[in-house]
Structure 1
Amino acid sequence: MVFTRLLGSLGVGGPTVDTVLAPGPVLPGGTLSGEVRVEGGRAEARIEGITLELVARVEAETEDGEHEGGVVFERYLVGGGLRIAEGERETVPFSLVLPWETPLTELYGQPLGIVLGVRTEVAVAGGRDKGDLDPLTVGALPAQEAVLEAFGRLGFGFRCADLELGRIGGTGQQLPFYQEIELTPPPRYAHAVNEIEVTFLASPGGMDVVLEADKRGGLFSEGHDTLTRFTVSHEQAGQLDWTSEVDGWVSRLVEHRAVYGDHASYGHGDPYGGQHSGHEGHGGHGGHRSGPGVGAAVAAGAAGLAVGVAGGLVAAEIVDEVGDFFEDEDEDENENEDEGGGDED
């Protein structure tokens, strides 16, 4: 995408920048490659730095409701010290390693509705400018696919996925947010749970799988959430009987009020350090319906979990949403900076 917005800070006739990502999805912990193409304008310009930001649309729950905002979760300096003459073209290649906890945006080639992007910031003498956003596509690691396929074989369906601001206590979580993949239960478990949320916290050595169940209430009791964690290695992806493994996880989660650690569950013991109010306000768990329709999943291949996109979004619409959402974020940010500059004077 050509950063036409650069004209605002560099002046009409200034250089343009086009960041091109290598085609295809990248895996968490994998390498994102591409190049930044710079073309000189009507006069010579010196570009002091080119920085790529990984940005995510994240939900946050506060006392006054649920809000969405952009979170920068990684920055990479990929170039600088460029003097671009009039009409000159320069290419800056890059190769970046994504954080292991980078959330998944697609599964089996179908988008999950997660908004991630790569934004290019260009620093020139006298200022800097953030250009348009390129959508970032992230696929699943083999171990993540194995777990989700097992859920599919057990009859679970995909409901939706989102990113939540905050941290899960008792884990080694690195990013300031985590991904939840919400699944609807099969008849075998429908009497006990409304849904199960799956969170992957990957690292170079393996992966934590955090499961949270929204349990149904009984005649004399209210529903409640239970949570538990399991750790697997990347090497186990092709070695375990994942259907039996995941079935055991779900049975343990449903049959027992398993919470690892005294204050490790979402929304208990303030594991978010005040940043997040936990799941008590997350869309009202008790209000979900597990019947067919919204976000329904269909079997694919050998009964694996194939997903549709929640809310009827398609890939092209998500690409548009990426740009629209972060463009609004940038406008708000620029307004705040202008107001702040006035105060400093």
Structure 2
Amino acid sequence: MACRTFLSALGVNAPSVETVVENPKVSPGGTVRVVVTAVGGGADVDIERVRLEVVVRAEDLELGGKASWKHPYAVATVDLEGFRLPAGETVTVRGEVVLPWEMPLTHALGAPLAGGRAAIRTELAVDKSVDQGDFDEIEVHALPAQDAVLQAFTDLGFELREAEVKIGFLPEMAPRMESRQTLECWQEIDFIFPESWKPGRQELETVFVAREDSLDAHPGGLPAATFVYARLNQSAWTQKLEKHVLGHWPSR
């Protein structure tokens, strides 16, 4: 839900800004449509720039605890043209932000994903100052292929635990993954091994690297199993995933 925020950079009688996300439920590769409404304060001002950022909660930045979200990380940015805002007048601008295919998820299998958070952050450059005028959370739902792979893990007895975003490039940190990552962050989705796959096995961290036509799933920091969207078949994909994981972590 949008709320009007006064631009603190301009002090008393400052303009206010309200951001409305027209489609707060979206998937990777989708477009978020945003309406920004500015209401003039006690004097005319020049809004030099309106910046729309898609931000996510990255655990690398949250040093104060896992429940906090004090330092969101931007994964996509669009700058809109500035405008003159007369005192007491209202100006409305529209913008769109395309989510990257590798966009971290907040929802999967029809439910919220623990640890996943995303938002649209609106920044206005006013009088050579930058003011973060609004912050609106959005839901990023899994692609059908991502849901199918997550369902395959569930069908194999894995328990979905949580997700967390890390900043950096996987090929630099884990060369054996042979990742095709392009976004400068990735999302780990943590599963608990089923009892039948023990002893001594706790969590299996899986990274998705999505593209327009296919998806790489890297279980346990190893090379990917690739799933092509046009060939989505739940039973076949479950068997493929089981074979891939068993190749590295054989059951008893």
Report the TM-score when normalising by structure 1. 0.63
Give the alignment of 1:65-104 within 5 angstroms. 69-80=71-82, 82-104=83-105
Contact 1:158–1:182 under 8 Å retained in 2: yes
Aligned counterparts of 1:205 and 1:23: Cα–Cα separation in 2: 23
The match for 1:182 is 190
The match for 1:9 is 9
Structure 1 or 2: more strand by fraction: 2
Aligned counterparts of 2:238 and 2:113: Cα–Cα separation in 1: 24
Are positions 1:205 and 2:213 aligned together? yes
The match for 1:128 is 130
Q: Specify the SS of the correspondent of 2:191.
A: strand
The match for 2:120 is 118
Q: Specify the SS of the correspondent of 1:193.
A: coil
Contact 1:161–1:180 under 8 Å retained in 2: yes
The match for 1:50 is 50
1:56 is displaced (CA, Å) by: 2.2
AA partner of residue 95 (structure 1): E
Are positions 1:227 and 2:228 aligned together? no
Aligned counterparts of 1:243 and 1:143: Cα–Cα separation in 2: 12
- Identity among equivalent positions (%) equals 35
For residues 131-156 of structure 1, give each alpha carbon's deviation from its aligned partner in whole angstroms, at most 9, with x where no partner exists: 23211210100110000011111111
AA partner of residue 216 (structure 2): D
Q: Specify the SS of the correspondent of 2:76.
A: strand
In structure 2, the CA distance between the partners of 1:91 and 1:132, relative to structure 1 (3 Å rule), is closer
How many correspondences in the alignment? 237
Aligned counterparts of 2:210 and 2:88: Cα–Cα separation in 1: 45
Are positions 1:247 and 2:249 aligned together? no
Q: Specify the SS of the correspondent of 1:172.
A: coil
Structure 1 or 2: more helix by fraction: 1
Task: Give unpaired runs (5+ residues) of structure 1.
Answer: 213-225, 257-345
The match for 1:27 is 27
Aligned counterparts of 2:192 and 2:128: Cα–Cα separation in 1: 53
Contact 1:192–1:254 under 8 Å retained in 2: no
Contact 2:27–2:142 under 8 Å retained in 1: yes
Task: Give unpaired runs (5+ residues) of structure 2.
Answer: 172-177
For residues 11-69 of structure 1, give each alpha carbon's deviation from its aligned partner in whole angstroms, at most 9, with x where no partner exists: 321211111112442101111112111111122222121001122222339xxxx9x94
Report the TM-score when normalising by structure 2. 0.85
Aligned counterparts of 1:171 and 1:55: Cα–Cα separation in 2: 23
Structure 1: which 4+ aligned runs deviate by more than 4 Å?
none
